[in-house]
Amino acid sequence: MTKRSVASKKLWKIGAEEFNTQYFDYNKDGDLIIKEGHNIYNVRYMAEKFGTSLEILMPFVIEERVEDFLDLVKDLSKKVKYQGKFFYHYPMKVNQNKEVVMALVGEGAHLETSSYNDLWLVKKMLEQETFNPNIRILCSGPKTDKYISLIDDLQHKGVKIFPLIEGPNELKFLQFSKYDVGIRLDMPIKASSYWNKPIDRFGFSAKEIINMGSFKNLKILHYHIGSQIEKLSDVIGPIKYALDVYFKIKEKNPSLDTLDIGGGMPIPYMRNKSYPVDKLMEKILKLIKHESEKRGLPHPNLVCEWGRYIVAPAQISVFKIIDTKKIANKKSPAKKWYVIDGSFMNDLLDTWAIGQKWAISPANNKHDANLNEVWLAGSSCDSDDIYTGVHGSVTLPDYDSSSGENMYVVVYDTGAYQDPLAAHHCMLSSPLKLIIENGHIVVARKRESPDDVGKNFGW
Ligand SMILES: *Cc1c(COP(=O)(O)O)cnc(C)c1O
């Protein structure tokens, strides 16, 4: 390995398990490569062959992450003598692309749907017999009449499907269901996460649920306080609270046997360390065990719905720099604009919507001796279509678009939420999507033509 590639790896935090970048490396020519066992994929090669903007999905990363996670819980349950069962449910809204969902299900994930249309996909796959009928489905999101009747339909067919009651209208329909249901607790303990609102519109307070008395088939107590919860104490506090409620309602609802702690496990987008998953999971299992034994009651089954944590690192987005421009203002932390052939507002919408930060590195880095501080701009005509980095700028190799060579940049961890949120501002086409696995490179979604995009707008 050359000195230069060692320096590049360090600078862009490539090859580090704690940041989920162990799949990446720089080769001796300064090209970013992706490693799957002994298979290697060259990112610059894929960008040149298939064109940019480009998304590269790595199902093997999803598979490895689910498998590691399920193994971890199994080992920890044994270690701490936790007797409840554990179910991992993938929330489909995080990324419902077929190749993502199938990779998860293939490793033993159960599913959580957020809408009638989500559940429709599940029904389709059950009919095509591409799912094991023992798969468990949780249904959250507002239950429209259509959603309820599809749940009903699947329950009749013997599918293990559990609607989670989140509002008064749903309560009316489902409280006396002859099938199993769950109920959502509106958690009064708040976490520092972008999504954790001071007043949540979903679920019922502890008092309300306790006063509801006895349900016919209440199985699950569920809550979800937000995504990307970065403090360990913000995860543990709500579990304690929910356990207290769980045991109170169990008195009148002996069928209750499962606690569902929702989503929240974070991803180190900004490449700073967070709490490790094994430490958190051990704490959770010990806490539930302790609280149950204190009351002389059996350990509940545990459900968790961490979608972002599993799928974000499984995709990267690759863009070409199509223009550069000096930033005249001397006070600016960035010296140049790099214009990409994709769009932050369209392809990585959270950049604009919630100020999401990303790790970014060059895909080809021949002349990395000179680094520059830059801002990135998307190809829409919108002045908001920019990304200014974690600390005010992005460090990339210096590049001049008149040099005749191409420069590509990679945005990491784009596998969660960005595809479902994608838009077509300025009629731009979405990135082409590649799947790489077992040495194959497959085009999963072609680049949209102007006609394809136009169809969305009635043309
Ligand atoms: C969005 C959502 C999740 C996903 O949480 P992440 O931590 O972002 O994966 C889980 N459960 C419910 C009910 C959700 O609405």
In a domain, residue 340? The reply is yes
Q: Are 153 and 227 found together in one domain?
A: yes
Distance CA 138, CA 109 (A): 12
Distance CA 20, CA 9 (A): 13
Distance CA 247, CA 92 (A): 29
Q: Nearest CA to 183 among 158, 200, 156, 208? A: 208
Ligand 1, atom 4, lies closest to the CA of 263
Query: What pLDDT was estimated at residue 96?
Result: 97
Distance from the alpha carbon of residue 28 to the mean position of ligand 1, in angstroms: 40
| Structural domain harbouring 405 | 3-58+313-455
Distance from the alpha carbon of residue 215 to the mean position of ligand 1, in angstroms: 26
Distance CA 102, CA 394 (A): 35
Distance from the alpha carbon of residue 227 to the mean position of ligand 1, in angstroms: 6
In a domain, residue 161? The reply is yes
Mean per-residue pLDDT pooled into runs of 10, the chain (459 residues): 77 96 95 97 98 98 98 98 98 97 96 98 92 93 95 94 95 87 92 71 92 92 93 93 97 96 96 92 98 96 98 98 94 96 98 96 81 97 96 94 90 98 96 98 97 96
- The sign of the dihedral angle between the CA atoms of 440, 444, 445, 446 is positive
Q: Are 267 and 395 found together in one domain?
A: no
Atom from ligand 1 closest to the CA of residue 264:
7
* Amino acid at site 49: K
* CATH number where 141 lies: 3.20.20.10
Q: Are 122 and 256 found together in one domain?
A: yes
Distance from the alpha carbon of residue 166 to the mean position of ligand 1, in angstroms: 14
Within 8 A by CB and 6+ apart from 149, the residues are: none
CA 129 to chain centre: 26
Atom from ligand 1 closest to the CA of residue 184:
13
- The sign of the dihedral angle between the CA atoms of 111, 112, 117, 123 is positive
Distance from the alpha carbon of residue 307 to the mean position of ligand 1, in angstroms: 6
**Three-class DSSP category at 102:** helix
Ligand 1, atom 3, lies closest to the CA of 263
Q: Are 271 and 337 found together in one domain?
A: no
Mutate to test the pocket of ligand 1, among 162, 224, 234, 413 (most ligand atoms within 8 A of CB): 224
In a domain, residue 76? The reply is no
Residue 53 preceded by cis peptide, ω within 30: yes
Domain end call among 277, 305, 333: 305
Ligand 1, atom 8, lies closest to the CA of 227
In a domain, residue 75? The reply is no
In a domain, residue 194? The reply is yes
Query: What pLDDT was estimated at residue 195?
Result: 66
Q: Are 285 and 419 found together in one domain?
A: no
In a domain, residue 399? The reply is yes
Q: Are 38 and 93 found together in one domain?
A: no
Domain end call among 261, 283, 305: 305
For Cα atoms 275, 280, 284, give the angle at the middle one, nearest 5 degrees.
Answer: 155
Pair 343, 386: CB distance under 8 Å = no
Alpha-helix runs per DSSP H in 222-367:
232-250, 277-294, 308-311, 344-347, 350-353
Other C-beta atoms within 10 Å of 420: how many? 14
Distance from the alpha carbon of residue 440 to the mean position of ligand 1, in angstroms: 31
Query: What pLDDT was estimated at residue 189?
Result: 84
Q: Nearest CA to 56 among 408, 423, 421, 424? A: 408
Tell me how far CA of residue 3 lies from CA of 8, 10, 26, 31, 325, in angstroms: 9, 11, 11, 14, 30
Distance from the alpha carbon of residue 304 to the mean position of ligand 1, in angstroms: 9
In a domain, residue 222? The reply is yes
Distance CA 395, CA 52 (A): 21
Mutate to test the pocket of ligand 1, among 267, 305, 311, 418 (most ligand atoms within 8 A of CB): 305
Pair 345, 85: CB distance under 8 Å = no
Distance from the alpha carbon of residue 159 to the mean position of ligand 1, in angstroms: 22
User: Tell me, what DSSP letter sits at residue 431?
Assistant: P
Ligand 1, atom 9, lies closest to the CA of 307
Atom from ligand 1 closest to the CA of residue 307:
9
Q: Are 297 and 320 found together in one domain?
A: no
In a domain, residue 63? The reply is no
Q: Are 360 and 423 found together in one domain?
A: yes
Mutate to test the pocket of ligand 1, among 69, 110, 112 (most ligand atoms within 8 A of CB): 112
* CATH number where 44 lies: 2.40.37.10
pTM across the whole model: 0.96
Distance from the alpha carbon of residue 8 to the mean position of ligand 1, in angstroms: 34
Residues composing the chain: 459
Total number of domains constituting the chain: 2
Domain end call among 276, 305, 334: 305
User: What's the start-to-end Cα distance of the chain, in Å?
Assistant: 53
Q: Are 263 and 366 found together in one domain?
A: no
* Pocket residues: Cβ below 6 A from ligand 1: 91, 93-94, 140, 224, 227, 262-265, 305-308
Q: Are 286 and 321 found together in one domain?
A: no
Q: Are 49 and 161 found together in one domain?
A: no
Atom from ligand 1 closest to the CA of residue 140:
13
User: Tell me, what DSSP letter sits at residue 350?
Assistant: H
Distance from the alpha carbon of residue 154 to the mean position of ligand 1, in angstroms: 23
Query: What pLDDT was estimated at residue 246?
Result: 98
Q: Are 164 and 47 found together in one domain?
A: no
Q: Nearest CA to 83 among 361, 346, 380, 286? A: 286
**Three-class DSSP category at 301:** strand
Token code pair at residue 323: 């223009």
Query: What pLDDT was estimated at residue 129?
Result: 86
